[in-house]
Amino acid sequence: MNTKSILSITKQSQPLIIAGPCSAETEEQVLATAHQLKDVGVTIFRAGIWKPRTRPGSFEGVGQPGLGWLQRVQREIGLPVATEVANAAHVEQCLQHGIDALWVGARTTANPFAVQEIADALKGVAIPVMVKNPVNPDVNLWLGAIERLEQAGIQQVSAIHRGISPLGTSVYRNNPAWDMPMTLKKMRPELVLINDPSHIAGNRHLLAGIAEAALARDMDGLMIETHLQPETAWSDAAQQITPQALKEMLTKLKASHSGL
């Protein structure tokens, strides 16, 4: 089992850029996307292997074979890789495949039993874990999940702000509820705090404005879903952008944020 991660997710002067498809779909898609993202200057490649779909009947991820595809990204493209875990079995498989970083999804963060199971499976393992905010506006539930992982001995736990489920209509798929990450930041100023404009927006046209607002609030990084042909993506098609569009977005953000 590979329990040593070379990746460090710590506060840096440069925002951390995590990008990759919502879901790993095929081996070719994963490798070609990672190849293009390497040139964009992305720090970590993301791809979901087990997908927590809100309603049944949609694509639920390629499962374990996708971990081998991520290993090829590490080996052949030289990018560290991250995927979502929702239970102990996911954790074991990721550790066996030497995945560099994990994230806990918003639906899982809302369930302390699941988070505890993940924390127990990670006891004593040196791997960075990013925790998305829960789907409901409960900063203590978010912090509680972070603490469960810290108490299991994980040194590099960070937070991802992905907004909260709106009741009724909203321009956003998930309302940003900026107060929530800002409250977490006040409670735990040393925590790395990453913004996920993709899941907040639900729509690629709103991404740049959200990313801008996050960097203006001094957040430490961005996680952005990227697909070679976004409109054909097997999940979250409306919110993904091409690696080229990501490059252009980051160039524009650079103009207003000197660290980028």
Residue 121 CB coordination number (10 Å): 18
Q: Which does 105 bind (CB under 5 to 8 A by kind): Mn ion, ligand PEP, none?
A: ligand PEP
Q: Which of residues 139-198 bind ligand PEP (CB under 6 A)?
A: 162
Residue with the CB atom nearest Mn ion in the bound state: 22
CA nearest neighbour of 33 among 164, 182, 24, 97: 24
Residue 170 CB coordination number (10 Å): 13
Q: Which of residues 201-260 bind ligand PEP (CB under 6 A)?
A: none
Q: Which does 220 bind (CB under 5 to 8 A by kind): ligand PEP, Mn ion, none?
A: none
Q: How far is the CB of 240 from Mn ion (least distance, A)?
A: 8
Q: Which of 9, 16, 17, 22 binds ligand PEP (CB under 6 A)?
A: 22
Q: Which does 66 bind (CB under 5 to 8 A by kind): Mn ion, ligand PEP, none?
A: none
DSSP percent split of the chain into helix, strand, coil, nearest 5:
40, 15, 40
Amino acid at 228: L
Q: Which of residues 36-65 bind ligand PEP (CB under 6 A)?
A: 48, 52
> Could you tell me which residues come within 8 angstroms of residue 212 by beta carbon, excluding any fewer than 6 positions away?
253, 256
Q: Which does 259 bind (CB under 5 to 8 A by kind): Mn ion, ligand PEP, none?
A: none
Closer of 171 and 259 to ligand PEP (Cβ): 171
Which helix H or strand E contains 119, and what residues bound it? helix 112-121
Q: Which does 97 bind (CB under 5 to 8 A by kind): ligand PEP, Mn ion, none?
A: none
Closer of 2 and 64 to ligand PEP (Cβ): 64
Phi, psi of 193 (to 5 degrees): -125, 115
Positions in the binding site for Mn ion (CB under 5 A): 22, 236
3-state secondary structure of 91: helix
Phi, psi of 82 (to 5 degrees): -135, 145
Q: How far is the CB of 73 from ligand PEP (least distance, A)?
A: 17
